[in-house]
Amino acid sequence: MIGAIILGILAGYLGRAIMPGRQEMGFFMTTILGVVGALLGFLFFTEVLDIGDSDAFDLGGLPGAVIGVIIVLFIYDRASR
């Protein structure tokens, strides 16, 4: 669980750095969106595309987690307007 939170924090900040524009959110919102996006990316890559390790939620899934975060940030940005 702690590893998923750490991955969510890393993916959240990387996704915010990659995503164009300014996102007005703090640490906790970045962490929450990061964990949700990491979970989305993890499930998409392991279940749909069958890429990666489906037994462990680890740092090896960081690229998929960042892609998931970018998708979640895009949806959040459009919904919060």
pLDDT at 36 over 80: yes
Domain coordinates in residue numbering, the chain: 2-79
How high is the mean pLDDT of the chain? 76
Does position 34 have pLDDT exceeding 70, yes or no?
yes
* N-term to C-term CA, the chain: 32
Question: How large is the average pLDDT for residues 1-21?
Answer: 78
pLDDT of residue 68: 82
Q: Is the pTM of this model over 0.75?
A: no
* Residues 30, 32, 35, 36, Cα dihedral to 10°: -110
- Which residue has 């906790």 as its token pair? 28
